[in-house]
Amino acid sequence: EVTAGPEGNWIGQAKQDADIIFGGSEYMLQDFIFNHPEIIDTKSRTELYPRAAGILVRKGNPKKIENLEDLTKKGVKIIDVNGAGQLGLWEDLAGRKGLIEGISQNINLSVKSSAEAIERWKSDSSLDAWITYESWHYRLQDVTCLVELPEEEKLYRGTPISLTKITDQKKEAQQFIDYLRTEESHQIFQKWGWK
């Protein structure tokens, strides 16, 4: 049974019976460990597969956004997720190219979670672009196009997973993590946008 975030939706139950915690990025799992040191078995922490950041745009790409520089153009409205594995994602990409000011001026809306971003993306067609993980495009193909960044510009973040200290199914939970690291599972991750 998989229970998705945001954390407030599942933390109460997780403190009672969670077997595994899965993070949207390495910093997210570390932040979780800081906030809930009693839950995670840090010795079991495992990296699954990295995922790359890209730019999601509207179907048909009406603003003709092809790269990060295009996000600095006048009239481009960007949504930003300031959390949920994406904290500082756009800034890290923009900083390498000297585009922080130009992109920051075009951030029209900041939200705290991907769920909130998806809701706003679907309800507010004035939003033109979202710097996020490429993987979100595969779940949102009906309302997005993906602008992939060149490999030398891509930024990758990890996908950590860990056993909990409270699991009463340690062997089975570890077997599941081991299964996620098989080639069969890797192919599924790749299908949905992971490397």
Q: What is the pTM of this model?
A: 0.90
User: Hey, what are 5's tokens?
Assistant: 């975030």
131-177: per-residue pLDDT in tens? 999 999 999 999 999 999 999 999 999 999 999 999 999 999 999 99
Q: Judge contact between 104 and 88, C-beta under 8 A.
A: no
pLDDT of residue 9: 87
pLDDT at 123: 98
Compare 24 and 65 and report the one with higher pLDDT.
65
CA dihedral 8, 12, 18, 24 (to 10 degrees): 10
The answer to whether 137 and 146 have CB atoms below 8 angstroms apart is: yes
Whether the upstream peptide bond of residue 150 has omega within 30° of 0, thus cis, is no
H or E segment at 31?
helix 26-35
Looking at CATH, the fold of the domain delimited by 7-49+158-191 is given as D-Maltodextrin-Binding Protein; domain 2 (3.40.190)
Instruction: Check for a shared fold between 7-49+158-191 and 51-156.
Output: yes
Give the domain ranges of the chain.
7-49+158-191, 51-156
pLDDT, residue 34, reads 95
Span 26-76, pLDDT tens digits: 999 999 999 999 999 999 999 999 999 999 999 999 999 999 999 999 999
Residue among 70, 88, 72 nearest 80 (CA): 88
Q: What is the pLDDT of residue 8?
A: 86
CATH for 51-156, among 3.90.550.10, 2.40.50.140, 3.40.190.10, 2.60.40.420? 3.40.190.10
